[in-house]
Amino acid sequence: MKREDLKKLIDVAAGREVADLVIKNCRIVDVGSGEIRQGDIAIVQGLIAGTGDYEGREVLDARGLYAIPGMIDAHIHIESAFVTPEEISRLLVPFGTTTIIADSHEIANVAGLTGLAYLLDAADKATLHIECVVPSCVPATPFENAGAILEAEDLEAPLADERILGLGEFMNFPGIIHADPAVLDKIMAAKKANKLIDGHSPGISGKELCAYASAGILADHECSTREEMQERLANGMYILMRQGSACHNLEDLLPMVTERNARRCLLCSDDRQPKTILEEGHLDDHLRKCVKHGIHPVTAVQMASLNAAEAFGLKDRGGLFPGKRADITLVNNLGEFKAKHVFIDGVEVARDGRYLPQVEGADISPVRSSVQDKHFSIDKLKLKQKSRKVHAVDIP
């Protein structure tokens, strides 16, 4: 922030200067006090100057609408939606999402750091705030034929990049539990860079979970039972309650949320495909389910905003407070959470489900032609049967 911008912000907040935009007469869902109050939101230079009674050069009358902080998906793989960063922006923003924590595992698994570099550049150009982590486990297991291998030394440069929040989901949990040397090197690289380490620890418990958590793991999005959730909370981990296209954990976990642990509970998609998004929405879908299961609407909104901002150290957002980014979603009510207007950095970017920015595709040439099989023929897809029975994997 520049000094003159700080002055302007204070001048608008104090009422000495007129705001760029004022959202008038909305019901402000205040994740700080936990209450809902009537008021205006004054915006200047992309930031919230204040809430109360303000005048603006531009005014939006939001009577009857609820203003909630722009929603934050705490863990999502853009690649799982089969689209580019600018297209995930177009998909998610109309539902009220303004920030995603993007784990670039898949693209890095195919295209290594070139893939990550492409993702960061494309993310910079997207309207949606796309906050990236560098994948910790490329390949995910040594049995994989991945397109890249990222060792600790390969992670040092990305971890030093200010656009990178930290290490992505540490899928190699056995490696941590057994203090595998190469894994320790990766953990140390993140600690030295003072960056976070996201988690992924399905099924482990007891001392194994303690060992995993002791390495400084921030969170887990793999809980599917209340017992798993309880134990991870007790180990200091945030719980990213997942509702994706394949995995539907949110409603199983909601009964475990209490007034004293809700702050440690966040919302995420992990993998959410366009069909699911277009049919069921994004975090608005999570919020509907939360409220349906008896979570107080303000608590649910905290999960979708403040909790994620706190967990991932995004100090510039998470609440409709003076000085924060003007990432604001106006919804019809606190049961349906239908996004009527969505603002990112003070600019209206979606209205009534319509995405307003022009989508300009980033240059994808660095990651083109990544499917490489020089010896492919239709013959390779044929099932070579020795008997009339074949092994099959159960697909639920």
Interface with a second copy, residue 46, by CB under 8 A: no
Does residue number 15 form part of the binding site for a second copy (CB under 8 A)? yes
Residue 216: CB minimum distance to a second copy, A: 5
Select the span of 43-51, 108-116, 164-172, 351-359 touching a second copy (CB under 8 A): 43-51
Q: Choose one: 46-54, 56-64, 114-122, 337-345; the region binding a second copy (CB under 8 A).
A: 46-54
Residue 394 interacts with a second copy (CB under 8 A): yes or no: no
The answer to whether the beta carbons of residues 169 and 138 sit under 8 Å apart is no
**CB 28 to a second copy: min, Å:** 8
CB-hemisphere CA count at 13 Å for 381? 4
The mark string for 216-245 relative to a second copy (x by CB under 8 A, - otherwise) is x-------------x--xxxxx--------
Q: In terms of Cα–Cα distance, which of 361, 370, 367, 363 is closest to 114?
A: 367
Pure H helices in the chain: 3-13, 85-92, 105-125, 152-160, 173-177, 181-192, 206-214, 226-234, 250-253, 274-280, 283-292, 297-303, 306-311
| Cα–Cα distance, 99 to 356 (Å, whole number) | 17
Quick one: 260 or 384, whose CB is closer to a second copy?
260
Q: Please tell me the distance from the alpha carbon of residue 235 to that of residue 263, in angstroms, as a whole number.
A: 15
- Residue 368: enclosing H or E segment and its boundaries? none
Segment 244 to 303, residues that bind a second copy, using CB under 8 A: 258-261, 263-264, 296, 298-299, 302
Closest Cα partner for 196 from 166, 219, 236? Answer: 166
Q: Is 166 among the residues that bind a second copy (CB under 8 A)?
A: no
Q: Compute how many other C-beta atoms are within 10 angstroms of the C-beta atom of residue 95.
A: 22
Cα angle for residues 298, 303, 307 (degrees, 5° grid) = 115
# of chain residues touching a second copy (CB under 8 A): 62
CA distance between the termini of the chain: 50
Helix/strand/coil percentages in the chain, nearest 5: 35, 25, 40
Residues 199-218, mask of contacts with a second copy (x by CB under 8 A): -------xxx-xx-xxxx--
Q: Of 176, 283, 330, 349, which one interacts with a second copy (CB under 8 A)?
A: 176
Q: Using DSSP, state whether 277 is helix, strand or coil.
A: helix
- Of 179, 182, 278, 364, the one binding a second copy by CB under 8 A: 179
Does residue 356 contact residue 339 with C-beta atoms inside 8 Å?
Answer: no
Residue 340 binding a second copy, by CB under 8 A: no
Residue span binding a second copy (CB under 8 A) among the ranges 57-65, 73-81, 170-178, 351-359: 170-178
Residue 121 or 208 having the CB closest to a second copy: 208
Q: Closest distance between a second copy and the C-beta of residue 170, in Å?
A: 13
Number of H helices, E strands in the chain: 13, 17
By beta-carbon proximity to a second copy, the closer residue of 149 and 188 is 188
Regarding 136 and contact with a second copy (CB under 8 A), the answer is no
Left if phi > 0, otherwise alpha if psi is -120 to 50, otherwise beta: which for 289? alpha
Residue 13 binds to a second copy (criterion: CB under 8 A): yes
Residues that bind a second copy (CB under 8 A): 1, 3, 6-7, 9-11, 13-15, 30, 32-35, 37, 47-52, 176-179, 184-185, 187-188, 191, 206-208, 210-211, 213-216, 230, 233-237, 258-261, 263-264, 296, 298-299, 302, 310, 319, 321-324
